Amino acid sequence: MFNDHPETQDLLDQARKGQSGAVDRLLDVYREPLRRVIDLRLDPALAARVDASDIVQDVLLEAHRRLEEYLRNPGMPFRLWLRHIAKDHVIDAHRRHRQAQRRSLDREQPLVPAVLADHSSYELAAQLLDGERTPASAAIHRELQRKLDQAIADLDEDDREIILMRHREQLSNQDVATSLGLSEAAASMRYLRAIRRLREVLLPETSSGIEEG
């Protein structure tokens, strides 16, 4: 997700030169990746009311307005810059529906990020079980699948976000560090901490045994 597109740098150069249509082509490259990032962060109750395509369009309009500023001083890769704008719009959408309408989405349905709703869930489960391959591992995997959504929802925001970034968006540690304003070492440590806490929720007896050992 959000790997560098081969056209991106060329289109950015064209946009700097004011070539006709370059900006529209540039933003169109990222329309679907932005849709996936937004879908990932909308909780189910809000997603039932808000069309993610509308948020995507708002993100692209803001990016269009701010592109000249970005081109003068590109502080991060273009794909990460767009991602920041998208995340801000998702936060605004949640705030409007929770505060302006004075209605708690959390009472209707808990926030369950979609990070583990696809094949990446099995990859993460395998990582959490690394070193625990036993005859009972298949049963443990099934139990993990039932617990993963709630465990992710129970993590604090920093831990939840970095798992989303690494496992669903498939951002590299370098991109995570850039996006969060951290050193690569700090980003790596934050990720390992999130995985450790998730493991503690999912496999408390195993984690306790490791700590005691």
Return phi, psi of residue 80, to 5°: -75, -35
Per-residue pLDDT of 32-83, as tens digits, reads 999 988 988 887 777 778 888 999 999 999 999 999 999 999 989 999 999 9
> If you write DSSP's letter for every residue of 35-93 in order, what string do you get?
HHHHHHHS-HHHHTTS-HHHHHHHHHHHHHHHHHHHHHS--S-HHHHHHHHHHHHHHHH
CATH number 3.90.550.10 is the correct assignment for the domain at 114-212: no
pLDDT band at 201 (very low <50, low <70, confident <90, very high): confident
Look at residue 212 in the predicted model and tell me its pLDDT. Answer: 42
Q: Which parts of 73-128 fold into alpha helices (H)?
A: 78-95, 105-108, 119-128
CA 137 to the chain's CA centroid? 28
Angle (CA) 180-86-179 rounded to 5° is 15
Count of beta carbons in the 10 Å neighbourhood of residue 23: 20
- 8-108 adopts what CATH topology? Rna Polymerase Sigma Factor; Chain: A (1.10.1740)
Residue 2: is it exposed, middle or buried by C-beta count within 10 angstroms (0-12/13-18/19+)? buried
Return phi, psi of residue 103, to 5°: -135, 130
Long-range residue pairs from 176-180, CB within 8 A, at least 24 positions apart, any chain: 178/76, 178/77, 178/80, 179/76, 179/80, 179/83, 179/84
Give the integer Cα–Cα distance in Å for 27 and 11: 9
Residue type, position 122, single letter: Y
Per-residue pLDDT of 82-138, as tens digits, reads 999 999 999 888 887 766 555 454 444 444 444 444 445 555 665 665 555 565 666
Long-range residue pairs from 67-72, CB within 8 A, at least 24 positions apart, any chain: 67/15, 67/23, 71/12, 71/15, 71/16
Domain ranges of the chain: 8-108, 114-212
Give the integer Cα–Cα distance in Å for 74 and 177: 16
Portion of the chain with pLDDT greater than 70, in percent: 69
Look at residue 42 in the predicted model and tell me its pLDDT. Answer: 82
pTM of the model as a whole: 0.69
Per-residue pLDDT of 5-29, as tens digits, reads 678 999 999 999 999 899 999 999 9
